[in-house]
Amino acid sequence: MSKNKYKDKKVEEPNVEQAEQQETKEEQTQETAQEEVNEQTEKADEDAGQDAKAEEKDAGQEAKEEEKEPEQSVEEQLRQQLEDKQNKYLLLAAEFDNYRKRTLKEKAEIIKNGGEKTITAILPVLDDFERALANMKSDDEAVKALEEGVRMIHEKMMKILAQEGVSVIETKDKPFDTDFHEAIALIPAQTDDQKGLILDCVQTGYKLNEKVIRHAKVVVGQ
């Protein structure tokens, strides 16, 4: 009875074909997943490599710029130093040229007016000659002869002084000018035309080569 029992019951045999298909499908799935993983890995590695290259490139560029900047800075410093030295040279040259011109002018003035002190000391003698000539108005022949002698001496002195650059400051009927005249008195003018004009000269003024060495003392009409 037990034998029939096992005879009648069909033993279910495993489906080999389905198992193989299932296994193949799983293997393909695994392979696909692995390929995706590999692709992602390769892409990540590629991206990382590109990032690394970009960083390396940036770093190299920055290094070049850093290397280049000191060169430009040194060049600019040298250029600035050169400009400063050129400016200093031009300034010194201008100052020396001004000093040379000023020195030459001072030397010329000294040479030109070197006798100013001596001539100024002689001027009171000329005043004495003028006063003497003014007081020698007489009909006496002896006095006339003396007057003529004094006049000749005075004219000779004036001629010698003129050769040295001395000249008389004109005052007769001239407008009053503070550059050449010194007013010692103001008197009412007889006419309107005489206002502001020199009416009388009390002391003669002199110039030495256009330089006033003594102002003329005058009376001015007002």
Picking from 200, 171, 206, the residue whose alpha carbon sits closest to that of residue 186 is 200
Q: What is the pLDDT of residues 80-137, one digit of tens each?
A: 888 888 999 999 999 999 999 998 888 877 777 778 888 888 899 999 888 888 888 7
pLDDT of residue 179: 92
Confidence of residue 195 (pLDDT cuts 50, 70, 90): confident
CATH for the 113-221 domain, from 3.30.1180.20, 3.40.50.2300, 2.30.22.10, 3.80.10.10: 2.30.22.10
Joined tokens for residue 50: 């590109």
Expressed in percent and rounded to 5, the helix, strand and coil fractions of the chain are 65, 15, 20
Does the pLDDT of residue 154 top 50, yes or no? yes
Q: Look at strands 216-221 and 181-187 and give their pairing.
A: parallel
Q: Would you call 21 helix, strand, or coil by DSSP?
A: helix
Res. 169 pLDDT band, cuts 50 70 90: very high
Mean pLDDT, residues 139-158 taken together: 86
What was the pLDDT predicted at 219? 93
* Position with higher pLDDT, 3 vs 16: 16
- Give the DSSP letter of residue 193: G
* Predicted local confidence at residue 118, as pLDDT: 85
What is the domain partition of the chain in residue ranges?
78-112, 113-221
Average pLDDT, the chain: 80
Q: Could you give the percent of the chain with pLDDT greater than 90?
A: 25
Number of residues written out for the chain: 222
Compute the distance between CA of residue 63 and CA of residue 105 in angstroms, rounded to an integer: 63
Instruction: Output phi, psi for 165, to 5 deg.
Output: 100, 10
Quick one: pLDDT band at residue 74, thresholds 50, 70, 90?
confident
Residue with tokens 């005489």: 194
Q: Is the pLDDT of residue 58 over 90?
A: no
Q: Is the whole model's pTM more than 0.85, yes or no?
A: no
- What is the rounded average pLDDT of the residues 26-51? 71
Instruction: Please say whether the beta carbons of 197 and 170 come within 8 A.
Output: no
